[in-house]
Structure 1
Amino acid sequence: MPLTTEDQLIGEIDDWLKKYLSTEILSAGRVRRGLMNEKWIIETSKGWLFVKSYHPGRFKIHDPEFRGKIENALQLQLLFYQSGGPCPEPLMLEGRCMHILPCGRYITVMTRCPGTMVPAGIIGERKMYSLGRAAADMHAFWDSAATLGFEAAVPPEEPIWQLSREEIERTWEVSWDTARNSSERVRNAMQLQKAILDSLGDEDFAPLTAGWAHLDLWADNLLFEGDALAAIVDFDRARYSFPEMDLGRAILSGTLSGRGFHKDAVIAFAEGYRKVRPLPPGSLLRAIKYVWCIESFWWIQPSLESSSVVPVRFAEEMIYTAEHWEQLDALLGGI
């Protein structure tokens, strides 16, 4: 596929808006976050919209099966919006939330939500309470949508991201073999990673309760107004998996700073979640450890030192969690 310039994309998006929404672009501000996909906040003659163009180098977007998974995730987002959930509304056309431009690029168009992002690690107690309650609403609604037979919410046979000791050990061995020339810091982190893996018992690999999950519930995908969550955004990764992974990811992203976990904020998140759904004591600790077992092998890599800001933030979360593995139960186990 030939390269597509930003001007060409904006021009074709403008033509699409005129054709299907009877509106036109007045201004377009580029959102320079995320990897490769192009995003804009667009002012139109009928109001503000958010538009994402899926870069072919970022996703296997021309694989119909993969594209179908993103389409389903957007349909889940639409269902959550229609239930009153705090998220943008994906605009549907002919039963689809993904649309193709003449240049071959796929786009999504959705309403723009108010609010601002809060940097990772410093999302305060009231905001975490609001986030916990919204996460519970999202999980509960998707559960009910599955029970009611909504097509997008019908679960597949197996959840994704199930832990496998054998697979994790293979992944670690491959990374270790390529880490010969990595920094001492990276190699030390990988050695600690292997020590924790070796210490895990069979109970640590037991699956969590399956269900639909956002699977990218971190600071850059959250918008707040004052102390209230205004919107959860970027549902592209939503899959049938383990909802507790959303809890672990939110706690790591929202409350872990250089000084450790902000325990009061963790407690506030749990209280918000429990207003809607049960959350037995110890669930958050298990969720954090499960996320670590999945994500640490993504982020702690030989290439860590040359990574950009976002992967480094995730890697730092994984390293801190590993370094304090033995203290996590005393700190978070009773919440």
Structure 2
Amino acid sequence: MKLISPEELVLEDLIKSCSCYFGFQVLETIPIKHGWLNLKWRLITDSGIFLLKQYNKERLRKYNHAELLFAFTQQMRLHRAGFPCPKLYSYNGQILLESNTGELFLLMEYCDGNMIPPGKLNSHQMYDLGRATGRMHQLLNDGSIVRKRTPVFSPSSKKERLTHWKLVKSHLRDKGKTHLLPIIDTQYKTTENINFVNDHIGESGWAHRDLWVDNILFHDRELSAVLDFDRMKYDFPQLDVARAVISGALYENKLDVFLVSVFVEGYREARLFDKGCLLESLKWLWYMESTWWIHAELDLQSGPSQRFSEEIQWLSENLTELEFMLKEL
């Protein structure tokens, strides 16, 4: 007797709900192995091809339910405006649906395209990603959404951050991981020496907040779709720019400045981006994300988190050189 896996049980439950809500028959299911904890499948049905996304209950606790629903409405607004992102399907006005066993899920348009590994985008793809990012920011901040809150990212003081790195070093010594101490020393020294042009990050606004290569699909020369708006909130759009740039143009510890330049060129077609803004954005990205990815369990990271930590380590080691590398941008 074949044992049914927990994933198969979830899928069976969701298919029953989808058939009930939308009236189609599922002919084939193909699991999609991307993302953390949430389960995804490509559904081939008698009514077309869809993507089914289950929300893991543990991961869902990290989200504000109302903010998540709001992000879905904005994704739909972008889609209606012609922006390349998946259409979300609703039933009785509800986008985030619940199965008979209490599983929360989305049914969305399946978008064709390829995920490109970090740092491996070509110049056409980087240009189109820049143009799409600028257009997304322009649409999200066109005045349709009333500003109701302060930005999510509220930087700690330099004094607080230095204290943080001292504590991480103490934890590493307690764990006997002295081989990681040089990485923390670099974070500490970079924090001591970093200079921002302004005390503020730049213009605040609505942003994607998870704009890296695993959330972007491409055709050969152009962007196919931007995915996963779950983290969309009021923050600093230029941090999206920094995240996309470092994700798309950093390969084997080398930043391809030409790829960076074509991204910025594409972005400026849709939205104003002053000279020097990219350098400041990358500095703030390092300041924001360094405490996320550089910690006492750094040696246990794998997959996306390992890539993120490598990006942050590279930034901490190269911020001074970036002032020269990006001086024309």
Please say if residues 201 and 280 of structure 2, whose CA atoms lie closer than 8 Å, have aligned partners that are also in contact.
no
1:66 aligns with 2:59: no
Report the Cα distance in structure 2 between the residues aligned to 1:261 and 1:182, rounded to whole angstroms: 33
Match of 2:220 among 223, 226, 241: 226
CA deviation vs aligned residue, 1:34-75 (integer Å, no higher than 9, x gap): 2111111111111111111111122306xxx71112111111
Match of 1:159 among 115, 129, 151: 151
1:208 aligns with 2:206: no
**Residue 259 of structure 1, CA deviation:** 4.6
**Residue 20 of structure 1, CA deviation:** 1.5
Q: 1:60 to 1:162 in 2, by over 3 A?
A: same
**Residue 204 of structure 1, CA deviation:** 5.2
5 Å matches for 1:133-172? Answer: 133-144=131-142, 147-148=143-144, 153-165=145-157, 167-172=160-165
Please identify, of 20-29 and 184-193, the stretch whose mean Cα deviation from structure 2 is larger: 184-193
Match of 2:115 among 114, 117, 138: 117
**SS at 2:51 equivalent:** strand
Q: 1:108 to 1:167 in 2, by over 3 A?
A: farther
Q: 1:103 to 1:245 in 2, by over 3 A?
A: same
RMSD: 1.8
Match of 1:245 among 221, 239, 244: 239
**SS at 2:141 equivalent:** helix
**Residue 96 of structure 1, CA deviation:** 2.9
TM-score by length of 1: 0.91
**SS at 2:224 equivalent:** strand
**Residue 214 of structure 1, CA deviation:** 0.5
Please say if residues 24 and 45 of structure 1, whose CA atoms lie closer than 8 Å, have aligned partners that are also in contact.
yes
5 Å matches for 1:166-181? Answer: 167-180=160-173, 181=175
Which runs of no fewer than 5 residues in structure 1 stay unpaired? none
Report the Cα distance in structure 2 between the residues aligned to 1:206 and 1:303, rounded to whole angstroms: 31
- Partner of residue 318, structure 2: 324
Give, as a single letter, the amino acid of the residue that structure 1 aligns with 2:39: E
Please say if residues 86 and 225 of structure 2, whose CA atoms lie closer than 8 Å, have aligned partners that are also in contact.
yes
5 Å matches for 1:245-284? Answer: 245-284=239-278
Report the Cα distance in structure 1 between the residues aligned to 2:254 and 2:187, rounded to whole angstroms: 19
What is the aligned-residue identity percentage? Answer: 29
**SS at 2:217 equivalent:** strand
Give, as a single letter, the amino acid of the residue that structure 2 aligns with 1:245: L
Please say if residues 186 and 301 of structure 1, whose CA atoms lie closer than 8 Å, have aligned partners that are also in contact.
no
Q: 1:95 to 1:186 in 2, by over 3 A?
A: farther
Match of 1:130 among 128, 131, 154: 128
TM-score by length of 2: 0.93
**SS at 1:107 equivalent:** strand
- Partner of residue 211, structure 2: 217
Which runs of no fewer than 5 residues in structure 2 stay unpaired? none
Report the Cα distance in structure 1 between the residues aligned to 2:71 and 2:205, rounded to whole angstroms: 13
- Partner of residue 38, structure 1: 39
- Partner of residue 19, structure 1: 20
Please identify, of 157-166 and 276-285, the stretch whose mean Cα deviation from structure 2 is larger: 157-166
**Residue 7 of structure 1, CA deviation:** 2.2
Report the Cα distance in structure 2 between the residues aligned to 1:201 and 1:264, rounded to whole angstroms: 25
Report the Cα distance in structure 2 between the residues aligned to 1:127 and 1:164, rounded to whole angstroms: 35
Q: Which runs of 4+ in 1 moved over 6 A?
A: none
Give, as a single letter, the amino acid of the residue that structure 2 aligns with 1:198: E
**Residue 207 of structure 1, CA deviation:** 2.9
**Residue 24 of structure 1, CA deviation:** 2.1
Q: 1:175 to 1:104 in 2, by over 3 A?
A: farther
**SS at 2:140 equivalent:** helix
Number of residue pairs aligned between Structure 1 and Structure 2: 323
Please say if residues 78 and 89 of structure 1, whose CA atoms lie closer than 8 Å, have aligned partners that are also in contact.
yes
Report the Cα distance in structure 2 between the residues aligned to 1:182 and 1:235, rounded to whole angstroms: 40
Q: 1:44 to 1:110 in 2, by over 3 A?
A: same
**Residue 284 of structure 1, CA deviation:** 1.1
**Residue 310 of structure 1, CA deviation:** 1.2
Please identify, of 171-180 and 40-49, the stretch whose mean Cα deviation from structure 2 is larger: 171-180
